[in-house]
Structure 1
Amino acid sequence: MCKIVIFGNSGSGKSTLARKLASKYELAHFDLDEIAWKNTNPPTRQPLEQSSVKIDGFMNDNTVWVIEGCYSDLIEYVMGYADKAIFLNLSIEDCIDNAKKRPWEPHKYPSKHAQDENLSMLLDWIKDYESRTDTFSLASHQALYDSFAGEKVIYRLNINE
C-alpha cells in the first residue's frame, strides 16, 4: 500500500511534489485546499466534520493516494490512514520564491489576474509561518511530524528546482 500525506508552509512545493508522486506511482491526488474552505467572501473554513466526510469519500474510493495541504487539523485526521508523511520545511525565502513563480491555480482562483492580486497577502502569510500558532503554523506541522509513527521525512531544500 502507498498512502502519503504531504504538508508544509504555503509555497513549500506540496502540490508540485504530490503531482509528481501521483504521476510516477499512479496514486490518486487530493489537494485539501479544494475542501477546506466555504465559497464565501472573505473565505471561511468548512466545519471539520464536513471536510472529514469529503476526505473519507476520497479515501474510500482510492486504495493508494497522496493527500496534501497545510491544514494541521485535516492532516492529523489523514495521518491515521497514511503510510508515509512528508514535511516540506523549506526556508521562508524559498517559499516566497516559489509563490512568486506559482502558475495559475484554477481550482483556487477564477483567473491568473485574480491569483496575482492575492500575491501580497500570500507572501505576508508565508512570512508569518514561524510566528503563527494556528493550524497552518510551523509549530503545528512540527508537532504532526513528531507524532507520526510511520515512515517520515523532512525536506529542507527547494524541490521545485
Structure 2
Amino acid sequence: MKDSRLRKILVFGNSGAGKSTLSKRLSADGNLAHLDLDTLAFKKESPTERRDIQESLKEVNAFLEKNDSWVIEGGYADIFEQILSHANEMIYLDLSAESCQENARNREWEPHKYESKEAQDKNLDMLINWILDYYSREDAFSELAHNNLFDQFSGNKKRFTSNQAIT
C-alpha cells in the first residue's frame, strides 16, 4: 500500500506564471522528483512542434512508476487530465497577464529549453503575445482548460493570483 502522506503535486498556469520556479523550490524543499512537461511534450528536432500526446504520456507514466513523491509542472491540461488520479495536490498559478509578461521578461536562461540566453530572448515577443492569448484561446494551454482542470480535481488544491502569494 502506498503512503498517502507522499506529496504528488501538479503545478500549472499561464506561461510566465512561475511554474518552474515554484516547482523547483517544492522539489528541493520536499525532496520530490521534478518533471517539467516542456522537456517531453515537444519534438527534439522541432522544438515548436508538439509530440503525439500518447508518446508524452508514456514518458509521464514512466516517471510516475519510478517516483513515489513528485511535482509535475506545465501548462498542458490535456496531459494533466490523464494523470489527475495520481495526484493528491494541485497548485494553479492564476496570475494576471501583466505579471506573467513581467516574469517572462525577467526570466533567467532555461538551458533545458534553449541553447543560449540569446536564443531564448529571440522567442520573447512570441511568448509575450502567447501569454496575452491565454485568456481567449480554447486549447489545452488556455485559462478555460486550466479552470476546468482545477474545478474537476477533488484533492487538496490552491489557486494563487500573485507572485507574492506564491512566496
Q: Per the shorter chain, which TM-score range? A: over 0.9
| Post-superposition offset of 1:42 | 6.4
Match in the other structure for 1:20: 25
- Write the letter of the residue equivalent to 2:67: N
Match of 1:154 among 153, 156, 159: 159
Give identity over the alignment, percent.
Answer: 47
Question: Aligned ranges for residues 106-145 of structure 1 at < 5 Å?
Answer: 106-145=111-150
- Paired residue total: 161
| Post-superposition offset of 1:108 | 0.6
1:39-96 superposed Cα distances (whole Å, 9 cap, x missing partner): 2446211111110110011111110000000011011122120000100000000000
- Write the letter of the residue equivalent to 1:99: A
Match of 2:81 among 76, 83, 97: 76
1:89 aligned onto 2:100: no
Q: Does the CA contact (< 8 Å) of 1:86 and 1:154 recur in 2?
A: yes
- Write the letter of the residue equivalent to 1:145: F
Match in the other structure for 1:53: 58
Match in the other structure for 1:31: 36
Stretches of 4+ aligned residues off by more than 4 angstroms: none
TM-score, normalised with respect to structure 2: 0.93
5+ residue gaps, structure 2, are 1-5
Q: Does the CA contact (< 8 Å) of 1:28 and 1:64 recur in 2?
A: yes
Q: Distance in 1 between the 2:84 and 2:20 partners?
A: 17
